Structure 1
Amino acid sequence: MLETDQNQDQNQDQDQDQDQDQNQDQDQDQDQDQNQDQNQSQNQDLSQNQDQDQDQNQDQNQSQSQNQDLSQNQDQDQDQNQDQNQSQSQNQDQDQDLSQNQDQDQDQSQNQDQDLSQNQDQDQDQDQNQDQNQSQSQNQDQDQDLSQNQDQDQDQNNPQTRTSAAAFKAFLMKSSTKTNTNLYDHLTQVLLKIMDERPPDVVDVFEDISREVKRAQFVNKQSTLRDMSEDDPAVTLAEQQRSLFIFPEEQDQEDELLEPALPNLTEVGHYLEQIGVGLGRGELLKVYLALRQLVKTNALPRCRFWGKILGTESNYIIAEVEYREGEEEEDERSEEEVFGERDNEEKEDREVRDRIDIPQSTYKPPPVVPVEAPGTGTNKCVYYVSKEPGFPWTKLPSVTPAQITCARQIRKFFTGRLDAPIMSYPPFPGNEANYLRAQIARISAGTQVSPLGFYQFKEEEGFEEDERPQDSYEVNPEFEGISAAKLSKSLSLWVHHTQHILEQGRCTWVNLTIKAEELNDEEEEEKEEEPEEAEPEIGPPLLTTLSQDAELFHTPPWTLKISSSLTPEHAVAYVRSNLWPGAYAYAFGKKFENIYIGWGLKYTGGGYSPPVPHPPQREYPSGPEITEALDPTVEEEQALKDALEEQEAAKEEMEETDEEEDDD
Structure 2
Amino acid sequence: MGDPEDVLSPRESAVRSAKTFLLQSSPSSGLNLYDHLSAVLSRVLSERPESAVDMLETLSADVKRSSLQHRQGTLRDQPETPPGLPLAQEQRGLFLRRGGDDAEHEDELVETPLPNVAELAFFLQQAGVGLGTEETQRVFLALKQLVDTQPLQRCRLWGKVLGTHGSYLVAEVEYREGEEEEAEEEEDEGGNREEEEREGSEARVDQEDGEGQEEMDPLPKSSYRPPPVVPREQNGSGTNKFCYFVCSEPGRSWVRLPPVTPAQITIARQVRHLLTGRLDAPVVTYPPFPGNEANFLRAQIARISAGTQVSPLGFYQFGEEEGEEEEEGAARDGYEENPDFEGIPVPELAETLSSWVHHTQHILPQGRCVWVNLAQKPEEDVEEEGEEEEKEEEPDEPEPEVGPPLLTPLSEDAEVNGTPPWSTCVSSSLIPQFAIAVLRSNLWPGAYAFATGKKFENFYIGWGQKFEGESYTPPVPPPPQREYPSGPEITEALDPTVEEEQALQAALEEQRAAQEETEELEGEEEEEEEDD
TM-score range, shorter chain: 0.7 to 0.9
Q: Shift of the alpha carbon at 1:56?
A: 3.6
* Distance of aligned partners of 1:387 and 1:258 in 2 relative to their CA distance in 1, 3 Å threshold: farther
**Aligned position for 2:466:** 602
CA distance in 1, matches of 2:315, 2:400: 30
**Aligned position for 1:378:** 239
Q: Among residues 518, 532, 541, which one is paired with 2:396 in the alignment?
A: 532
**Aligned position for 1:515:** 377
**Aligned position for 1:315:** 167
Counterpart check, 1:303 vs 2:303: no
Q: Shift of the alpha carbon at 1:251?
A: 6.2
CA distance in 2, matches of 1:284, 1:503: 37
Contact 2:326 2:332 in 1 (8 A): no
User: Which amino acid in the other structure matches residue 97 of structure 2?
Assistant: F
CA distance in 2, matches of 1:548, 1:466: 23
* Distance of aligned partners of 1:331 and 1:547 in 2 relative to their CA distance in 1, 3 Å threshold: farther
Deviations 1:63-96, CA, capped at 9 Å, x for gaps? xxxxxxxxxxxxxxxxxxxxxxxxxxxxxxxxxx
Contact 2:331 2:405 in 1 (8 A): no
User: Which amino acid in the other structure matches residue 247 of structure 1?
Assistant: R
**Aligned position for 2:321:** 460
Other structure's SS at 1:268 match: helix
Other structure's SS at 2:376 match: helix
**Aligned position for 1:573:** 437
Counterpart check, 1:559 vs 2:423: yes
Q: Shift of the alpha carbon at 1:462?
A: 9.6
**Aligned position for 1:584:** 448
CA distance in 2, matches of 1:402, 1:523: 27
Counterpart check, 1:46 vs 2:33: no
Counterpart check, 1:293 vs 2:145: yes
Q: Shift of the alpha carbon at 1:642?
A: 6.8
* Distance of aligned partners of 1:428 and 1:521 in 2 relative to their CA distance in 1, 3 Å threshold: farther
User: Which amino acid in the other structure matches residue 240 of structure 2?
Assistant: N
User: Which amino acid in the other structure matches residue 185 of structure 2?
Assistant: E
**Aligned position for 2:492:** 628
Structure 2: runs of 5 or more not aligned = 25-76
CA distance in 2, matches of 1:255, 1:651: 109
* Distance of aligned partners of 1:519 and 1:46 in 2 relative to their CA distance in 1, 3 Å threshold: same
**TM-score (normalizing by structure 1):** 0.60
Contact 2:306 2:363 in 1 (8 A): yes
Other structure's SS at 1:301 match: strand
Contact 2:239 2:260 in 1 (8 A): yes
* Distance of aligned partners of 1:292 and 1:657 in 2 relative to their CA distance in 1, 3 Å threshold: closer
Counterpart check, 1:417 vs 2:278: yes
Contact 1:576 1:583 in 2 (8 A): yes
Deviations 1:568-622, CA, capped at 9 Å, x for gaps? 3322211111221111111112111101101112223323222222332322221
Deviations 1:531-564, CA, capped at 9 Å, x for gaps? 3333332221111111112222332222222222
CA distance in 2, matches of 1:333, 1:44: 101
Counterpart check, 1:244 vs 2:206: no
Structure 1: runs of 5 or more not aligned = 1-35, 63-226
Q: Which has the larger radius of gyration?
A: 1
Counterpart check, 1:273 vs 2:97: no
Contact 2:325 2:331 in 1 (8 A): no
CA distance in 2, matches of 1:319, 1:297: 14
Other structure's SS at 2:124 match: helix
Higher RCO (Cα < 8 Å, 6 or more apart) = 2
User: Which amino acid in the other structure matches residue 220 of structure 2?
Assistant: P
Other structure's SS at 2:152 match: coil
Contact 1:323 1:375 in 2 (8 A): no
Other structure's SS at 1:383 match: strand
Counterpart check, 1:257 vs 2:108: yes
CA distance in 2, matches of 1:47, 1:576: 95
**Aligned position for 2:335:** 473
CA distance in 1, matches of 2:226, 2:515: 60
1:21-420 equivalences under 5 Å are 46=8, 52-60=14-22, 230-248=80-98, 250=100, 252-253=102-103, 254=105, 257-259=108-110, 260-326=112-178, 327-328=180-181, 329-330=184-185, 357-420=218-281
Contact 1:309 1:598 in 2 (8 A): yes
CA distance in 2, matches of 1:460, 1:374: 20
User: Which amino acid in the other structure matches residue 380 of structure 1?
Assistant: K
* Distance of aligned partners of 1:521 and 1:619 in 2 relative to their CA distance in 1, 3 Å threshold: farther
User: Which amino acid in the other structure matches residue 287 of structure 1?
Assistant: V
User: Which amino acid in the other structure matches residue 245 of structure 1?
Assistant: F
User: Which amino acid in the other structure matches residue 91 of structure 2?
Assistant: Q
Other structure's SS at 1:285 match: helix
Contact 1:258 1:295 in 2 (8 A): no
**Aligned position for 1:178:** none
Other structure's SS at 1:406 match: helix
Other structure's SS at 2:140 match: helix
* Distance of aligned partners of 1:557 and 1:46 in 2 relative to their CA distance in 1, 3 Å threshold: same
1:474-489 equivalences under 5 Å are 474-489=336-351
The more displaced of 641-650 and 507-516 is 641-650
Q: Shift of the alpha carbon at 1:645?
A: 5.9
Other structure's SS at 1:515 match: coil
CA distance in 1, matches of 2:325, 2:519: 91
CA distance in 2, matches of 1:51, 1:417: 78
Query: Which structure shows the bigger proportion of residues in helix conformation?
Result: 1
Deviations 1:460-516, CA, capped at 9 Å, x for gaps? 399377348621111111111112211112111111111111222222222222336
Q: Shift of the alpha carbon at 1:325?
A: 2.4
* Distance of aligned partners of 1:297 and 1:332 in 2 relative to their CA distance in 1, 3 Å threshold: closer
Identity fraction in percent: 57
CA distance in 1, matches of 2:89, 2:519: 114
Contact 2:151 2:175 in 1 (8 A): no
User: Which amino acid in the other structure matches residue 500 of structure 1?
Assistant: H
Aligned length in residues: 450
Q: Shift of the alpha carbon at 1:361?
A: 1.5
CA distance in 2, matches of 1:451, 1:273: 20
**TM-score (normalizing by structure 2):** 0.73
User: Which amino acid in the other structure matches residue 268 of structure 1?
Assistant: L
* Distance of aligned partners of 1:560 and 1:628 in 2 relative to their CA distance in 1, 3 Å threshold: same
The more displaced of 393-402 and 637-646 is 637-646
Q: Shift of the alpha carbon at 1:366?
A: 1.6
Other structure's SS at 2:321 match: coil
CA distance in 1, matches of 2:408, 2:12: 104
Q: Shift of the alpha carbon at 1:58?
A: 4.2
